[in-house]
Chain A
Amino acid sequence: MTTFFNEMMTGGGVRPPYAQLQDWVNQMPADLRNLKQAEAEALFRRIGITFAVYGEGGDPDRLIPFDMFPRVFSAQEWFRLERGIKQRARALNAFLADVYDRGEIVRAGRIPARLVYLNEAYEKAVAGIRPPKGVYSHIVGVDLVRTGPDEFYVLEDNCRTPSGVSYMLENREIMMRMFPDLFRQNRIQPVEAYPELLRRTLASVAPDGCAGDPVIAILTPGHYNSAYYEHSFLADMMGVELVEGQDLFVEGKHVWMRTTQGPKRVDVIYRRIDDAFLDPLCFRPDSMLGVPGLMDVYRSGRVAICSAPGAGVADDKAVYTYVPEMVRFYLGEDPILQNVPTWQCAKADDLGHVLDNLADLVVKEVHGSGGYGMLVGPKSTREQIETFRAKIMADPDNYIAQPTLALSTVPSFVEEGVAPRHVDLRPYCLVGERIELVPGGLTRVALREGSLVVNSSQGGGVKDTWVLAE
């Protein structure tokens, strides 16, 4: 029987960061709890934060369940996480700058050439092009899980356009509104600075020759996109324009935005659309979402695109196994955060091990995301395992496998009261001229009893995440 690390309760009693919450939850009558839960849901509905789960059908305006029980880190715990996350964000950016230039890490034999250069996310179109300030991934979402008091593992990196930060901000906002006393009793570090830090980060990578305050725009695929709420939320919070492809055009050497006062030059584009749709002239010719000619403006150094096209080659699940190597190679440091041991089915030895141990492993598609197309061995029937075995054998290169981790739990409000549920954590690291990390992130919680899958598409919810001041 696996034992799971409970972040609040240990054999010795309540862990210090949760001390105040113990009284809070003990003193809360059940009817008040139900009332508050209903209030929270009403607040989320009113502000309109919903998450249409891609490919699941049903109610597109479904709320992600919000669990009111916060997840808490001490200042010391966070200090180590922060150093580890920033270290990883620096290494990932160094890797991108390298593989789109001389590729020293490949030449040194530290990562296979084919894994990088034949990767679907590698973009020939940006090789030899240095983006402003040499930054490729401006918002790095590092997905972390915990298995013990000091044991944290990076599950995956998100170097393109990690979503969910609006939940981090809204969860906090709603908790403060509903439980102001909690925020008086606990010294909780604020996360509200995130939009301003994001704006400064984006402004810091404006191209050379951009005079005055850079004009920043968020490029969204439109309101049918599942994360549209977040796009408009961030635009509002930062005071920048939210645009769709048709609102922008290229003329001469620059990108312009249509406004009621005439065309306005755009210097920095925070895009929330995939590479393939950015520019029909360079990528998919049938894309209606992008801006024709955008890539030529970018490549001639007159607009910044965040994240840089091609940044995805750093967060591929097969490349992931080499991130600790990147930390050593580029930074000359030991990795502070550990990777989950990963078997690559593309390697014959690894494949053999994976096929022999499917019942104990988690198997993922190399390019998959959102908890789709994965096998959680211990939670699967023999039939599901055999179906998946056939899929792996048909295309081994497309799969990696990891041990089933004993994910930590945090108390959560459930039907029968308060019970431990498994969690993960996605902090959002900002990389511009400086590297910034707000103390917090998005905690996702698997609300189904025993479930280890925290994805919102698979019954996951969210929690407010506290980092206590010293």
Chain B
Amino acid sequence: MRLTVDHVTSYHYDHPVRLVVQSHRLTPTTCQNQSVLDWSVQVSDGIEGGGFRDGAGDWVQAWTVRGPVSRIDVTVRGTVETHDASGILRGNREIIPVTAWLDETAPTRPDAALRDLAAAGTGADALALAHDLSARVAGAIAYRPGVTHAHTTAAEALALGEGVCQDQAHALIALARLRDLPARYVSGYLFADAEGAPHEAAHAWAEIWIDELGWIGFDPANRCCPDERYIRLGCGADARAAAPIRGIARGVTHEVMEIAVAVAATQQ
């Protein structure tokens, strides 16, 4: 499938800011699941910083804006050819060992309810168990925007019974790690046609390590594994670590962020 992405993130500041520093994971993963036809990232008034491939295989690109500015636009545009690989991430070059993805972070820290949910998971093998855990998350945390926020933990979202893809991914990561399956948070884009389930075009899901197969994506929000509708950007232990844009500005009193994302399929 040929997908085009048009993604603009705008930061508005009530007072002009200086020395904005950003770290981007906004470049599609180099892997066999997708190939980039064209791709560009622009930061208004930005100076391009260093770039490097990190231990998970993601391209990280630094930017700075000297300022003073009252607004910053990060514009991502590009076209990616995607392939369905049954959710298996193929050909990504990474150095971080699988064991390291069993770690626990604040948003994925389990509580009693998450432990119970993890313990209830069943499956003839690790793959079946992972599918079962993903289904349980989808059942326990209904998709509903606006009830959770950026810092909501998996435990809190489970208690609410509602959340967005970030909360569902955090919960699935927590469950997988409780069952000793390495897991991580993935950020990317999702294309959905008119009949598609409710979704966010700037999307997030989880990857779970299955021996013999490798990293497999699970998207509880859409009750499926990533296929050709998905573009993978990067991963981390949780949403913050995998964030497509991380930034800090000096002298910020109030920041408003707007995101506009369009993912479209184009004729080949």
- Inter-chain CA distance A302–B62, complex, in Å, is 12
Distance between A289 CB and nearest chain B CB, rounded to angstroms: 14
Distance between B68 CB and nearest chain A CB, rounded to angstroms: 14
Partner of A117, one of B51, B53, B56, B100: B100
* Binary contact track B222-251/A, C-beta < 8 Å → 1, others 0: 000000000000000100110000111000
Enumerate chain A residues within 8 angstroms of B64, measured Cβ to Cβ. 250-252, 293
**Cβ–Cβ contact A292 & B248, under 8 A:** yes
**Cβ–Cβ contact B23 & A252, under 8 A:** no
- Inter-chain CA distance A252–B47, complex, in Å, is 5
Question: Nearest residue in A to B96 (C-beta to C-beta)?
Answer: A127
**Which of A100-108, A137-145, A460-468 makes up part of the contact surface?**
A100-108
Asked if A114 is an interface residue, CB under 8 A from chain B, the answer is yes
**Cβ–Cβ contact B48 & A281, under 8 A:** no
Enumerate chain B residues within 8 angstroms of A118, measured Cβ to Cβ. 99-100, 102-103
* Binary contact track A251-286/B, C-beta < 8 Å → 1, others 0: 111000000000000000000000000001110010
List chain A positions with a Cβ less than 8 A from chain B.
100-103, 106, 113-114, 117-118, 122, 124-129, 249-253, 280-282, 285, 292-293, 296-297, 299-302
Q: Known: A296-B49, A297-B49, A300-B49. Is A117-B23 also a contact (CB below 8 A)?
A: no
Question: Nearest residue in A to B64 (C-beta to C-beta)?
Answer: A251
A-B contact count (CB 8 A): 97
Central interface residue in B19, B55, B56, by most chain A CB within 10 Å: B55
Enumerate chain A residues within 8 angstroms of B144, measured Cβ to Cβ. none
Distance between A81 CB and nearest chain B CB, rounded to angstroms: 35
List chain B positions with a Cβ less than 8 A from chain A.
19, 21, 23, 47-56, 60, 62, 64, 66, 94-97, 99-100, 102-103, 237, 240-241, 246-248
**Cβ–Cβ contact A297 & B54, under 8 A:** no
Enumerate chain A residues within 8 angstroms of B62, measured Cβ to Cβ. 250, 253, 293, 296-297, 300
Enumerate chain B residues within 8 angstroms of A114, measured Cβ to Cβ. 99, 102
Distance between A254 CB and nearest chain B CB, rounded to angstroms: 8
Q: Known: A117-B97, A127-B96, A250-B64. Is A300-B246 also a contact (CB below 8 A)?
A: no
Q: Known: A280-B248, A296-B23. Is A128-B49 also a contact (CB below 8 A)?
A: no
**Cβ–Cβ contact A252 & B53, under 8 A:** no
**Cβ–Cβ contact B21 & A293, under 8 A:** yes
Enumerate chain A residues within 8 angstroms of B49, measured Cβ to Cβ. 250, 252-253, 293, 296-297, 300
- Inter-chain CA distance A292–B103, complex, in Å, is 25
Enumerate chain B residues within 8 angstroms of A113, measured Cβ to Cβ. 97, 99
Enumerate chain A residues within 8 angstroms of B100, measured Cβ to Cβ. 117-118, 122, 124, 127
